[in-house]
Amino acid sequence: QVQLMQSGAEVKKPGSSVKVSCTASGGTFSTYAISWVRQAPGPGLEWMGGIIPLFGTPNYAQKFQGRVTITTDESTSTAYMELTSLTSEDTAVYYCARASDSGTYYYFDYWGQGTLVTVSS
Amino acid sequence: EIVLTQSPATLSLSPGERATLSCRASQSVDSYLAWYQQKPGQAPRLLIYDASNRATGIPARFSGSGSRTDFTLTISSLEPEDFAVYYCQQRFHWPPITFGQGTRLEIK
């Protein structure tokens, strides 16, 4: 059974950065895309970007280009999402999610438990 | 960017009733659409992919239909555990992968 375990909640100041980790277990890591999806307070899901560890080249939503960096460490089966220049509008729960098919980004069948990032002065 | 519009925003029904949720795309996404269920404090759960295929372990009361711009998620007979928020998601035109704004299914 695939499990995605995310790092703990963070409180950040406006203008700072946050880095969230997502460690996979129980399945193949390198060929399945890991995406990051955030959920601001209230309903609504927003895809930020993703990466297939084997290929190493991330894809980002244009909205986050220049502010987000997604990386992986295959030796520990961990994906990372770093978001810079934080504002209060970045306050959200950040999820990592694994693609349902190898080599694609298509749909998400395994999700982490979510990491709450609060941006407040 | 593909915009997905879900309707209604809130649907109030009783257990045992049939639920019909709609998702409309701003342009054709062929059949490349999924549905997710999210309960409070939990991550979303994949229900349907490629418009009409149930994901592993999803009960047969959940079904999806549609193509191009108009899609429907049907729950044939609501169970108490089905009351949640439902999202559609497209992967045809990406990046970005986009989600609808959600339909809240609540107990009447």
Per-residue pLDDT of chain A (121 residues; tens, 9 = 90+): 999 999 999 999 999 999 999 999 998 899 999 999 999 987 789 999 999 999 989 999 999 999 999 999 999 999 999 999 999 999 999 999 999 888 788 899 999 999 999 999 9
A70: tokens are 């997604």
A59: tokens are 């894809």
Which of B53, B97, B106 should one mutate to test binding to chain A, selecting the residue with the greatest count of A CBs within 10 A?
B97
Dihedral pair phi/psi, residue A31, rounded to 5°? -105, 0
Residues in chain A whose Cβ is within 8 Å of chain B: 35, 43-47, 49, 59-63, 95, 97, 100, 105-109, 111-114
Task: Please give the distance of CA B26 from its chain centroid, rounded to a whole number.
Answer: 16
Q: Find the residue in B nearest to A40 (Cα).
A: B101
What pLDDT sits at residue B48?
A: 97
- B19-46: average pLDDT: 97
A32: buried, middle or exposed (CB in 10 Å: 19+, 13-18, 0-12)? Answer: buried
Distance set, CA A115 to CA A8, A11, A91, B81, B105 (Å): 6, 11, 11, 25, 25
Write out chain B residues lying below 8 Å of A47, CB-based.
95-99
The sheet with strand A68-73 has its strands ordered as A3-6, A18-25, A78-83, A68-73
- B63-76: average pLDDT: 98
B5: tokens are 């519009």
Residue carrying structure tokens 């949720």: B21
How would you classify the pairing of strands B4-7 and B98-99? unpaired
CA distance B34 to chain A (A): 7
Write out chain B residues lying below 8 Å of A43, CB-based.
85, 101-102, 104
The more confident residue out of A43 and B101 is B101
Percent of chain B topping pLDDT 70: 100
Residue carrying structure tokens 């497209």: B90
CA distance B76 to chain A (A): 23
Q: Find the residue in B nearest to A44 (Cα).
A: B101
What pLDDT sits at residue A102?
A: 82
A94: tokens are 């950040």
What pLDDT sits at residue B76?
A: 97
What pLDDT sits at residue A97?
A: 97
State yes or no: pLDDT of B91 exceeds 90.
yes
Distance set, CA B96 to CA A14, A63, B53, B66, B79 (Å): 26, 9, 23, 22, 34
Q: Find the residue in A nearest to B91 (Cα).
A: A106
Dihedral pair phi/psi, residue B34, rounded to 5°? -125, 160
What pLDDT sits at residue A36?
A: 98
Give me the count of residues in chain A.
Answer: 121
